């Protein structure tokens, strides 16, 4: 039991720790899956907002360049009508609220600036002019998608749309100038739920590299900053390069472990990234892990106490049972000894080797050996028996019992020669002592003297002989014969 208790405690500890680990992993997977769904919903929502914003700007560019209300005014503005230009400016100012547009400009067919809502704002660069001329040739709205403006030193977004007269002849080019930091980036960065580490940001995929477009929450990276990223599983952005949407756990631009979800903007090379630090995702698991560890520790302590209590209780019961068994054995031994020492016959008990263990007072009387002297001796030494007729040594019945385990009886005319050398006629029997399984433990020898029986038989024979003699002889002869016979009888007995 000394090694069983620690082994059981160790086994229970392993079981509890495994269950705690399995529970922790389950809760971790649950928390991760829940956060993945949240990131997917937010990223998809933000990507849809960006796409919708882009489509709305294209629709407005088409409307402002082809509408019957604005087209005549644009023709007159290009021709130098300042009054119409002011009216046109006032109308456009109404739709430029909330930083919807940074500026709206008109270029003539040669690419010269003909009108601007804010004339003091920077003009247009050569690339914008070229793209505007291409929009006229293609007769479609063109987008200059998130570029760094050297004049205003910021990231800009532009739409170019051709303005045609009623005959389909180009008269001007409409330029919608948008500052994404004032309008679209705030929508992207907004996180609908409370979080300390979550963020959305917009990137543009350039082969094996990406451009960071929108501001980052935890880093001062200039817009249009390019990051060369290896195709590694542990990098969240490199995972976004390989597929249009998905989720992964990896490292962000800071090298911090994050859970991310990405969603490509349809029809563009833009990707909307939604990320949250894994330490926030699993923050509740820290408390849970401490509580689980505490619970496991409490269970182990409680189980240890229960097992120790059970062990002590069991040991107490075993001690009590052993005590009762010992008491019963002692009582049985006392009862056995009382029976042996109070019986009227001689009793000798031996072990399974034939050595004396007990000898009652009657046996001491007839053998001449005291029990204290006889204990441990071979039974033949203190109980030698001979044939009364020829004086030959007889086999001790105890040896026969030890040999075959059966009950043995002495033959007739057996005498015991005691320690003093006197011969005592005896009759005896020997029996095995076995336990409840039948195992031989020793033997018991019970004997009695036959002197009194012989004396009664001899007296009876003597009386019959005297009676017969008196019937055939006179009184004097019969008296002399009787006295001589009596003297001879007592002499023989002595």
Cα gap 473→76, rounded to integer Å: 197
The DSSP secondary-structure symbol of 425 reads: E
The DSSP secondary-structure symbol of 200 reads: E
Token pair, residue 163, equals 């303005």
Closest CA relative to residue 292, chosen from 23, 10, 12, 9: 23
pLDDT at 232: 47
CA triplet 9, 15, 16: central angle to 5 degrees? 85
Cα gap 466→488, rounded to integer Å: 13
| Cβ atoms within 10 Å of 175's Cβ, excluding its own | 26
pLDDT at 122: 62
Closest CA relative to residue 78, chosen from 108, 44, 105: 108
Q: Are 40 and 335 in contact (CB under 8 A)?
A: no
| Residues paired with residue 172 on neighbouring β-strands, in sequence order | 163
Token pair, residue 170, equals 């180009």
Multiple choice CATH, 67-184, 3.30.450.20, 3.40.1800.10, 3.40.50.300, 3.40.50.150: 3.30.450.20
Closest CA relative to residue 270, chosen from 43, 11, 1: 43
For 197, phi then psi, to 5°, come to -130, -10
pLDDT at 479: 67
Q: To 10 degrees, the CA torsion angle through 469, 471, 472, 478?
A: 50
pLDDT at 44: 92
Taking the chain (494 residues) in consecutive chunks of 10 residues, what is each chunk's mean pLDDT? Answer: 69 78 82 90 92 91 87 90 91 85 90 86 79 90 88 86 89 92 87 90 85 85 56 66 85 88 90 92 78 78 79 83 82 74 84 90 88 89 85 85 83 82 82 84 84 63 64 67 63 50
Radius of gyration in angstroms for the set of CA atoms belonging to the chain, rounded to a whole number:
62
Token pair, residue 9, equals 């405690």
SS3 content of the chain, % helix, strand, coil (to 5): 50, 25, 25
Between helices 71-78 and 82-95, what is the axis angle to 10°?
Answer: 130
- Residue 33 makes CB contacts below 8 A (sequence gap 6+) with none
| Cβ atoms within 10 Å of 468's Cβ, excluding its own | 10
- Residue 66 makes CB contacts below 8 A (sequence gap 6+) with 161, 163, 164
The DSSP secondary-structure symbol of 216 reads: P
End-to-end CA distance of the chain: 69
For 110-177, what is the HEC assignment? CCCEEEECCCCCCCCCHHHHHHHHHHHHHCCCEEEEEEEECCCCEEEEEEEEEEECCCCCEEEEEEEE
Cα gap 490→494, rounded to integer Å: 6
pLDDT at 494: 47
Q: Where are the alpha helices (DSSP H) in 343-450?
A: 361-367, 371-374, 379-382, 397-404
Tell me the fold of 343-449.
Answer: Beta-Lactamase (3.30.450)
Alpha carbon distances (Å) from 451 to 203, 415, 491: 128, 10, 15
Cα gap 144→157, rounded to integer Å: 6
Token pair, residue 330, equals 């002692």
């Amino acid at each position: 039991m000394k090694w069983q208790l620690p082994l059981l405690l160790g086994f229970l500890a392993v079981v509890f720790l495994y269950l705690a680990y399995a529970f922790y992993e389950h809760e971790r997977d649950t928390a991760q899956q829940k956060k993945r769904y949240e990131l997917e919903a937010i990223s998809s929502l933000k990507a849809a907002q960006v796409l919708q914003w882009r489509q709305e700007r294209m629709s407005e560019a088409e409307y402002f360049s082809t509408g019957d209300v604005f087209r005549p005014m644009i023709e007159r503005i290009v021709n130098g009508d300042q009054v119409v230009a002011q009216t046109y400016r006032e109308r456009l100012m109404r739709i430029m609220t909330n930083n919807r547009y940074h500026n709206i400009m008109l270029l003539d067919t040669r690419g010269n600036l003909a009108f601007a809502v804010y004339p003091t704002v920077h003009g247009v660069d050569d690339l914008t002019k070229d793209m505007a001329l291409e929009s006229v040739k293609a007769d479609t709205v063109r987008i200059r998608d998130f570029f760094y403006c050297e004049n205003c030193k910021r990231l800009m977004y532009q739409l170019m749309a051709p303005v045609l007269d009623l005959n389909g002849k180009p008269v001007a080019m409409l330029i919608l100038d948008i500052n994404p930091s004032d309008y679209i980036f705030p929508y992207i960065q907004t996180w609908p739920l409370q979080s300390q580490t979550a963020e959305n940001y917009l990137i543009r995929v350039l082969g094996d590299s990406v451009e960071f477009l929108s501001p980052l929450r935890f880093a001062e990276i200039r817009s249009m900053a390019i990051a060369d990223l290896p195709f590694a599983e542990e990098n969240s952005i490199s995972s976004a390069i390989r597929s249009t949407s998905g989720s992964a756990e990896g490292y962000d631009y800071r090298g911090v472990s994050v859970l991310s979800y990405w969603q490509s903007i349809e029809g563009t090379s833009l990707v909307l990234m939604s990320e949250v630090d894994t330490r926030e995702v699993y923050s509740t698991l820290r408390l849970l892990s401490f509580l689980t560890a505490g619970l496991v520790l409490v269970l182990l302590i409680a189980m240890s106490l229960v097992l120790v209590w059970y062990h002590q209780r069991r040991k107490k019961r075993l001690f009590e049972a052993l005590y009762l068994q010992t008491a019963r054995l002692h009582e049985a031994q006392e009862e056995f000894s009382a029976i042996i020492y109070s019986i009227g016959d001689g009793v000798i008990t031996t072990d399974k080797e034939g050595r004396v263990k007990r000898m009652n007072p009657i046996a001491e009387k007839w053998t001449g050996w005291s029990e204290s002297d006889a204990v441990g001796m071979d039974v033949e030494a203190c109980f030698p028996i001979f044939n009364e007729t020829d004086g030959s040594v007889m086999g001790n019945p105890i040896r026969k019992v030890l040999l075959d385990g059966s009950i043995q009886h002495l033959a007739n005319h057996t005498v015991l020669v005691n320690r003093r050398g006197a011969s005592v006629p005896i009759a005896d029997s020997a029996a095995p002592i076995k336990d409840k399984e039948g195992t031989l433990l020793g033997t018991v020898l019970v004997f009695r003297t036959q002197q009194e029986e012989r004396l009664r038989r001899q007296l009876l024979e003597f009386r019959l002989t005297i009676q017969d003699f008196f019937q055939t002889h006179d009184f004097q002869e019969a008296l002399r014969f009787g006295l001589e016979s009596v003297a001879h009888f007592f002499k023989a007995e002595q």
